[in-house]
């Protein structure tokens, strides 16, 4: 309580009263609208470059072909000038083995 200088009497301090409850309820604060997730391309299974239906990693397939081409060239005595033929023969052989399931995938 405080005394007022004008009247010399003691007056109660005015306190803030709570607002009367209304019949409508206040809307709760809502979180900001969520942004839709960004779309990414679906994950794809690795596919081979030559053999249809053999889901093998392209790097693994290439490695198989490199090794096979080396052995084909070795059988010929490593005579130069036949690299493309050796590669094509190795590619055909590897693709056949992949289709038959004889190589690890």
Least confident of 22-26, 75-79, 96-100: 22-26
For residues 3 and 10, is the Cβ–Cβ distance under 8 A? yes
Give the residue from 42, 4, 93, 39 showing the smallest Cα distance to 85.
Answer: 93
Give the residue from 32, 73, 68, 36 showing the smallest Cα distance to 50.
Answer: 68
| HSE, side-chain direction, 13 A CA sphere, residue 21 | 2
For residues 62 and 55, the model is more confident at 62
The CB-based long-range contact list for 67-76 (8 Å cut-off, 24+ gap) reads: 68/93, 68/94
Q: pLDDT grade, residue 48 (50/70/90)?
A: very low
pTM over 0.85: no
Distance CA 2, CA 34 (A): 53
Q: Where would I find the beta strands (DSSP E) of 1-105?
A: 2-3, 10-11
Distance CA 97, CA 99 (A): 5
């Amino acid at each position: 309580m405080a005394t007022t200088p004008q009247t010399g009497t003691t007056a109660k301090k005015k306190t803030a009263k709570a607002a009367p409850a209304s019949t409508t309820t206040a809307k709760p604060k809502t979180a900001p609208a969520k942004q839709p997730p960004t779309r990414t391309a679906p994950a794809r299974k690795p596919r081979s470059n030559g053999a249809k239906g053999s889901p093998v990693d392209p790097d693994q397939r290439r490695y198989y072909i490199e090794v096979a081409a080396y052995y084909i060239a070795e059988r010929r005595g490593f005579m130069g000038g036949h690299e493309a033929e050796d590669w094509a023969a190795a590619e055909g052989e590897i693709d056949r083995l992949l289709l038959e399931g004889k190589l690890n995938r």
